[in-house]
């Protein structure tokens, strides 16, 4: 594979499916605002994420929440994560109660 073919392959993978954001749509929205190709922003996010993980993640989330084009999608992702976490917690508590026998115990009073 030549360097040019490799570069094109990476570029195609970073562009994603047409019209489909990969996560919150931050890179796509920034690319549209600056009239650039989306793969440039995704590549920059990946490189920054490798070297400055926490700062990049916080910046990405904040951009997702505060840009009007991505705010609804970002909030929806976090609402879904909260629902998933609550369900996991409930399952863990139920499993723990089953293991310890506290889930089915009655004290004999009516």
Tell me the pLDDT tens digit for each residue of 60-81: 999 999 999 999 988 988 888 8
Q: How far apart are CA 102 and CA 99, in angstroms?
A: 8
Tell me the pLDDT tens digit for each residue of 76-95: 888 888 999 999 999 999 99
Averaged pLDDT of the chain:
84
Provide the pLDDT confidence category of residue 4 given band limits of 50, 70 and 90.
Answer: confident
**Domain boundary assignment for the chain:** 3-100
Is residue 45 pLDDT above 90, yes or no? yes
pTM here? 0.66
């Amino acid at each position: 594979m030549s360097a040019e073919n490799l570069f094109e392959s990476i570029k195609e993978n970073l562009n994603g499916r047409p019209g489909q954001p990969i996560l919150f749509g931050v890179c796509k929205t920034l690319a549209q605002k600056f009239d650039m190709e989306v793969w440039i922003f995704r590549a920059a996010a990946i490189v920054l994420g490798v070297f400055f993980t926490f700062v990049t993640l916080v910046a990405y989330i904040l951009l997702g929440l505060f840009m009007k084009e991505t705010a609804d999608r970002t909030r929806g992702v976090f609402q879904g994560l909260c629902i998933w976490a609550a369900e996991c917690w409930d399952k863990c508590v139920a499993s723990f109660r089953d293991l310890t026998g506290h889930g089915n115990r009655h004290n004999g009073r009516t």
